[in-house]
Amino acid sequence: MSLSIYDTASRKVQPVKITDGKVTMYCCGPTVYRDAHVGNLRTFLLADLVRRALEMHGTQVELIQNITDVGHMSEDIDSQDKMLEQAKAEKTDPFAIARKYEAGFHNDLSRLKIKPADAYPRASESIALMQVMIAQLIETGFAYIGEDNSVYFDAQSFPSYGAISGNRLDALKPGHRYDYTEDGAKRFHADWALWKNAGMRSEMIWDSPWGPGFPGWHIECSAMSLHFLKGHINLHVGGIDLRFPHHENERAQSNAITGNESVDLWLHGEHLLFEGRKMSKSAGNVVLLQEIIDRGFDPLAVRLCFLENRYRSQMDLTWAAIEAADATIKRWRKKIAGWGLSRISTDSEFLTIIDNDLDTPKAIQYLRAIEKDETLPDRASRFLFADQFLGLDLNRVEEVKAINPEQIQLLEQRMQARIEKRWSDSDSLRIKLEESGLEIKDTNTGQQWSWR
Ligand code: AMP
Ligand code: ZN
């Protein structure tokens, strides 16, 4: 057995194709004009989970994730470049914006224990790659130069357009916004720009055989995935909103270049809501990982919350769920340290659960049952084996904070009260100790304390 995943294009759970013990993966990366929110991080975690599930079987994974630092237009009708808009807002150079948020992205990934990709190519440094591809698409009749000197992909030249999303060209009506606003320069309403003529724009533009301009967003992912993964991608990851038009257009471009199906499996993660509301900048409902850390939670509590939900379902993250997950991780770390460990052995039951289309909620339930089963001799081994996939740092020993002199005095007073059978004093001292953050248990060998 090895990993199977739901493929959006075939609408079936399919085994991930492994060639000579290796899988090539591409995950659409961030547009670096702002910090990634926890919704974006859920999608980036999905790539990490796939990678770890494959690595659990000894499969080698090559993962590429792009950095979109040019060319991604915002959704609004004025069609401004997001990077340039933000540079204006922060009164700085667009590349300074890009590098600042790119650094923040890497920082968030490491705080969530997402293993780094093999390369993070930047769109702005891959312009030549894109231009070579665009020239080839023009030469082979898949693209044309429009009246505005922008280059467009000819959607009708690619008969299987729509295979991922089900949005067939004959059903796509004019007037629907597929991509940038156009002024009649393209031949067909569903065609999209591969190279945009600079027009009045003076920043973030490059020379090209078609005049100065900048690349479209979709061509970026075709150029980088095919170049870095040498012409074939076993598994392609992104959020569900990228299914159309981004991945549909990417597939058309890539297949037109390679002459075959360039991606074996299209994996899409469902969106994250926060406290019941869609997470988006425009809705003013963006939560950053930093905010969760600032509230005193372990960032890995968010990772556990994501694991408790299947990637294919929309999920609602709440502060209460983060708090509960934070407590669970701390409890597990403490228990695992207490159980002791001689060696970690393979747990094939656990592997079977995750191999089934990453059934992480079932994997977490499985561990909760192991936690409760006191007859199992190898509980630490099972947890730490699972943690190679879960990435929750479960073998981290939680620091035990020392108690202060006042608490020591209260504990001594309570011990004395119990010896003298002054039960109501003992009870009120317990309340005081609890208020100071301790938990008190009375056992055969006397009172025991721990931090709550
Ligand atoms: P962006 O930086 O906007 O290009 O998005 C980066 C990734 O995050 C893409 O794969 C998006 O599909 C994904 N994404 C955006 N919003 C959400 C959300 N609320 N939940 C999960 N993934 C999201
Ligand atoms: Zn992409």
pLDDT of residue 77: 38
Ligand 1 mean position to 74 CA, how many Å? 14
Residue 227 lies in a domain: yes
Residue 300: name the closest of 57, 451, 110, 171 by CA: 110
Ligand 2 mean position to 390 CA, how many Å? 26
* Spatial contact of 46 and 242, defined as CB atoms under 8 Å apart: no
Does 287 sit in the ligand 1 pocket, CB within 6 Å?
A: no
pLDDT of residue 138: 98
Residue 130 lies in a domain: yes
| Smallest CA separation from ligand 1 atom 15, residue | 40
pLDDT of residue 78: 46
**Whether residue 316 sits in one domain with residue 254:** no
Residue 364 lies in a domain: yes
Per-residue pLDDT tens over the stretch 84-104: 788 888 888 888 889 999 999
Structure tokens at 296: 């005193």
Task: Return mean pLDDT, the chain.
Answer: 92
**Whether residue 238 sits in one domain with residue 370:** no
Beta-carbon contacts of 373 under 8 Å, excluding residues fewer than 6 positions away, are 379
Beta-carbon contacts of 422 under 8 Å, excluding residues fewer than 6 positions away, are none
Residue 400 lies in a domain: no
Q: Are strands 277-278 and 315-317 parallel, antiparallel or unpaired?
A: unpaired
Per-residue pLDDT tens over the stretch 177-211: 545 455 568 899 899 999 999 988 888 899 999 99
Does 39 sit in the ligand 1 pocket, CB within 6 Å?
A: yes
| pLDDT of residue 445 exceeding 80 | no
Does 354 sit in the ligand 1 pocket, CB within 6 Å?
A: no
Residue 190 phi/psi, 5° resolution?
Answer: -95, 0
Residue 8 lies in a domain: yes
Q: Which of 246, 269, 292 is the last residue of a domain?
A: 269
Q: Which of 269, 302, 335 is the last residue of a domain?
A: 269
**Whether residue 346 sits in one domain with residue 222:** no
**Whether residue 109 sits in one domain with residue 71:** yes
Which ligand is in closest contact with the Cα of 254?
A: 2
Structure tokens at 417: 């009260």
Residue 398 lies in a domain: no
Does 279 sit in the ligand 1 pocket, CB within 6 Å?
A: yes
> Among 67-81, 264-278, 400-414, 435-449, where is mean pLDDT lowest?
67-81
**Whether residue 246 sits in one domain with residue 193:** yes
Domain count, the chain: 3
**Whether residue 230 sits in one domain with residue 245:** yes
Q: Look up the CATH number of the domain holding residue 156.
A: 3.40.50.620
Rounded to an integer, the average pLDDT of 231-249 is: 97
| Smallest CA separation from ligand 1 atom 8, residue | 40
Does 254 sit in the ligand 1 pocket, CB within 6 Å?
A: no
Structure tokens at 232: 């074939």
Residue 396 lies in a domain: no
User: Which residue range forms the structural domain that includes residue 240?
Assistant: 4-269
Ligand 1 mean position to 39 CA, how many Å? 6
**Whether residue 70 sits in one domain with residue 170:** yes
* Spatial contact of 433 and 414, defined as CB atoms under 8 Å apart: yes
417 vs 427: CA distance, rounded Å? 9
Per-residue pLDDT tens over the stretch 43-54: 999 999 999 999
Q: Which of 236, 269, 302 is the last residue of a domain?
A: 269
**Whether residue 57 sits in one domain with residue 29:** yes
26: part of which helix (H) or strand (E)?
Answer: strand 22-27
DSSP β-bridge partners for residue 273: 278, 316
